[in-house]
Amino acid sequence: MRRPAPLPASADEPEEAGDRPAAPARRTAAARERVAPRRPVHETSVESADPAHPTVPIDEALPPRVTVPAAEASAGPARAGSTAGAGADAVAGPAAAAQDLRSIDVWRAARARRKALRAEIRRFTQRSRRRRLVWWGSLGAVVALIVGSVVAAYSPLFAVEKITVAGTSTLDPASVEKALDEQLGAPLALVDASEVKAALVAFPIIESYALEARPPHELLVRIVERTPVGVIRSDAGYSLVDAAGVVLATTEQVPQGQPVLKISGGTGSSAFHSAGLVVRSLPADLRTALVEVHASSADDVTLALQGGRTVVWGSADDSPKKAAALVKVMAAAPDARSFDVSSPSVAVVR
């Protein structure tokens, strides 16, 4: 705390040298106007009664008066104000600098955020663009492949130049190929299935068929032939039939290796159906030894073998077991003339 300035001495009480503090070096003009004018002091001396203390002139005891020019006096308040302003600036300077620093940091952070956002948008846009390009490229490749395949398949580049027949044993493959000559030159994808069917109807021995395209120029026809079960005597001769009663061929003589079917009720009866299943279940060696098949009903099927041997078969049920039992008993009794396998677990030999 600053010490207050001393009051000016009155005219009646002269100032002592020891009690009066040193006057300030500079005073403002307003302070000088408030101070009463000092009386002139003559050169007098104060006599001391104490011989130890000599008499000192008053002018020598007082400090010399300092005269302040008016310009400096008028400039004093301004200097003081500037000093105070400098102090205030010194106090306010760090706060303003910190405020400026915070503003710069905020601006820099916002700028970095905008840059990161723009980079993320560009990255996302590029990734989406690449994804779309890949998707559209894949779709275009698939479409181009499909269109190219269709155009090539329906063009003369894949025209039929060769017809191959497979799966025939009785039927002549050359006759089937000749019947399908109309398909030569047609694209493999445009082979008319209805025309092929109409051409193969002329071959009753064909039970089923399948067409297979072998690029670039081959058409393969896989045929499954009907299996004949025997011949039926009629007014026209001997008709070769399969298990379904389909007439495969008609001849004047009994075809070699085919048994004569003597069935009650014709080809549409249950007896014929049962007899057909029995014939188809016979092993190959018994099939070649078969001469006649008799059936008056579905449960009364009898086989006549070469050498005058007969086999009572019964119904078509358990035909594989009956065939296995017949092979065993014939091997065990080669001289037997009659075999009953209607019950495969208990075969009877006579």
The verdict on whether omega for the bond into residue 216 sits within 30 degrees of 0, i.e. cis, is yes
Torsion (CA) 45, 49, 51, 56 in degrees, nearest 10: -20
**Tokens 């479409």 belong to residue:** 143
Burial 40-77 (b: 16+ CB within 10 A, else e): eeeeeeeeeeeeeeeeeebeeeeeeeeebeeeebeebe
Question: Which has more confidence, 28 or 134?
Answer: 134
Query: What integer pLDDT is reported at residue 95 of this predicted model?
Result: 67
Query: What integer pLDDT is reported at residue 1 of this predicted model?
Result: 47
Query: What integer pLDDT is reported at residue 219 of this predicted model?
Result: 94
Average pLDDT over residues 55-84: 46
Question: Among the listed ranges 30-34, 104-108, 201-205, 237-241, which one has the minimum average pLDDT value?
Answer: 30-34
Question: Which has more confidence, 194 or 92?
Answer: 194
The CATH code of the domain that includes 185 is: 3.10.20.310
pLDDT band at 350 (very low <50, low <70, confident <90, very high): confident
Pair 172, 241 in one domain: no
The CATH code of the domain that includes 247 is: 3.40.50.11690
Pair 205, 232 in one domain: no
pLDDT tens figures, 192-235: 999 999 999 999 899 999 999 998 899 999 999 998 999 999 88
pLDDT tens figures, 255-288: 888 999 999 988 889 999 999 999 999 999 899 9
311 contacts 328 by C-beta, under 8 angstroms:
no
Pair 335, 235 in one domain: yes
Query: What integer pLDDT is reported at residue 132 of this predicted model?
Result: 80
pLDDT band at 130 (very low <50, low <70, confident <90, very high): confident
DSSP secondary structure letters along 325-337 = HHHHHHHH-TT-S
Pair 201, 282 in one domain: no
Query: What integer pLDDT is reported at residue 225 of this predicted model?
Result: 92
- Residue 172 lies in domain: 157-225
Pair 167, 269 in one domain: no
- pTM value? 0.52
pLDDT band at 302 (very low <50, low <70, confident <90, very high): very high
Pair 199, 213 in one domain: yes
Pair 187, 287 in one domain: no
pLDDT over 90 percentage in the chain: 40
Q: Looking at 182, 197, 225, which one is the last position of a domain?
A: 225
**Residue 179, token pair as written in the block:** 């019947």
Pair 265, 333 in one domain: yes
Residues sharing a CB contact under 8 Å with residue 206, sequence separation 6 or more, in sequence order: 171, 200, 223, 224, 225, 226
pLDDT band at 173 (very low <50, low <70, confident <90, very high): very high
271 contacts 296 by C-beta, under 8 angstroms:
yes
Q: Looking at 171, 200, 225, which one is the last position of a domain?
A: 225
Q: Is the pLDDT of residue 309 over 70?
A: yes
Query: What integer pLDDT is reported at residue 11 of this predicted model?
Result: 46
Number of domains making up the chain: 2
Q: Is the pLDDT of residue 82 over 90?
A: no
- Tell me the backbone φ, ψ of residue 188, rounded to 5 degrees: -60, -35
Closest CA to 271 of 303, 297, 301, 292: 297
pLDDT tens figures, 186-201: 998 889 999 999 999 9
Query: What integer pLDDT is reported at residue 136 of this predicted model?
Result: 87
327 contacts 343 by C-beta, under 8 angstroms:
no
223 contacts 176 by C-beta, under 8 angstroms:
yes
